[in-house]
Structure 1
């Protein structure tokens, strides 16, 4: 596999159903995408081009080839590195209301034990402008380097709502953009891959028992293992996103949303309340 054999790249955004998009494309025998996010042009660039190309197997020969790495949207310098090696690719960005995305990201990190239950200390932009929760949601500024390098026509901007409301149309737009004929979308699996309501083992227990992971890995999925896990797993209690905190986030993201409307040519009024912005 060579750079010129790669046809498209999904550049993000995180927590915006890009895994759904990848699954839909991988269901087509004419498409090849490696399963993991490679993060090469953003976080793994020191590994070199040979490493990156080795992640694409010969299974992709003769197919439409792409990859998905959500960090490409956020990490500084990524657009320039990607364009240097892949100036010909089509780009896809699927975005989500930045307020909802920030809250979803917070819940994921809370479940992992990486943030505290004091939600305001993490999400209130007046207290802390966090790169992951706040700066990451300023999508317009992250897209502009790609538009400058690739041109607007090479970038397809989609929105999270399209997955739930019009999945056929959402997929059709992606397929058309990367040069594929229309194809029906695949029904979502009955069991969600990422479900924040599923009970998990508390982080402190996971850390204390970390040394056992290699020993019990062969047992995962077996009845005895799941029975023991069920004894210690707990449903995570997530702090609610209050109206006041939501409003603070809306105010913070509103200028970026306005610019994104101009870039995408689509109204995003459902992400905010226009009447509240009149004054």
Structure 2
């Protein structure tokens, strides 16, 4: 296994159904993708190429080999590292309305007990500019690094919103981009991945119990532990994204969205007009 055996990368964006895309592609016998996100070109580059390639040892002669790491989109330097190591790789970016993406990311971390209910602290550009949630949607800046380094025919930009309308068509776009022909496409994964409506342990309780997590880890699959946990789970009540906050986020992203539409050849004004959260 060599670096030039890797054919494609899904580079992001976070909370844009890239796990759905990965799991759908993994159903195709032509494709091999390791399950975890490797984050090699972003967070783990110091581990070296041998470590990176060791994650592909499970592949058994599949025609196409790739991986998904959402941090490749928003990590400075990742694009240049990929250009140096995988100059011929196909790059797939699936993007989502940045306002909805930020809110979804906030909800995920709230479920984990890592943020509190003061949503404006994380999403209001007057207070949170430069933070994870808002920066994650600066797609023009992120994609420009790849456009500057790779030919256009190696980059595919997809929209989360198109996937919601027709998942089969979205997968067919990917298959065409990867030149997979002559076979029926795999059915896309139907179960929603990382559903924020799924009941969990109360986020406040999760924060309080976090120091004890290593102690209870060996018992997580125990039937008694599962019964106790089932008594503590409930559907999470998230802080709402108010109209006022959405309007501030609209203003924050407006220029970025306009520039993004120009480089990808898409009309993205609907992102700013859409008043609902999915």
**Structure 2 SS opposite 1:156:** strand
Q: Deviations over 1:224-262 (max 9, x none)?
A: 333211222233210100000000001100101001111
C-alpha distance 63-103 of structure 1, shift in aligned 2 (>3 A): same
Q: What's 1:166 paired with?
A: 166
8 A contact 1:13–1:95 mirrored in 2: yes
Whether the 8 Å CA contact 1:172–1:183 is kept in 2: the answer is: no
Rounded Cα–Cα distance in structure 1 between residues aligned with 2:150 and 2:85? 12
User: Any gaps of 5 or more consecutive residues in structure 2?
Assistant: none
Alpha-carbon offset, residue 104 of structure 1: 0.4
Q: Please state whether the residue corresponding to 1:143 is helix, strand or coil.
A: helix
* Alignment map for 1:29-178 (pairs within 5 Å): 29-178=29-178
2:194 paired with 1:186: no
Matches of 1:215 and 1:139 in 2, distance apart?
40
* Structure 1 position 188, deviation (Å): 3.1
Larger mean CA deviation between 225-234 and 243-252 belongs to 225-234
- Partners of 2:28 and 2:17 in 1: how far apart? 18
Which position in structure 1 is the counterpart of 2:217?
A: 214
1:172-200 per-residue CA deviation (whole Å, 9 max, x = no partner) reads 1111112212633425344x341212222
Is there any run of 5+ residues in structure 1 with no aligned partner, and where? 275-279
Alpha carbons of structure 1 residues 60 and 94: separation in structure 2 relative to 1, 3 Å: farther
SS in 2 for 1:197: coil
Name the structure 2 match of 1:229. Answer: 229
| Paired positions, count | 270
1:277 matched residue in structure 2: none
Q: For residues 245 and 270 of structure 1, do their structure 2 counterparts lie closer, same or farther at Cα, with a shift above 3 Å needed?
A: same
- The more displaced of 174-183 and 96-105 is 174-183
Mapped contact 2:168–2:187 kept (Cα < 8 A): no
Runs of 4+ in structure 1 displaced over 6 angstroms?
none
**Corresponding residue SS for 1:101:** helix
| Contact persistence 1:122–1:130 (CA under 8 A) | no
SS of 1:59's equivalent? coil
Q: Give how far 1:205 is off.
A: 4.4
User: Which of 135-144 and 196-205 deviates more?
Assistant: 196-205
Displacement of 1:68: 0.4
The TM-score, its normalising length taken from structure 2, stands at: 0.92
> Are 1:204 and 2:204 counterparts?
no
SS of 1:244 mapped into structure 2? helix
Please list the CA deviations of residues 160-182 of structure 1 after superposition, one character each: whole Å capped at 9, or x if unmatched.
01111121221111111122126
Q: Residue 9 of structure 1 contacts residue 90 of structure 1 at CA under 8 Å; is this kept in 2?
A: yes
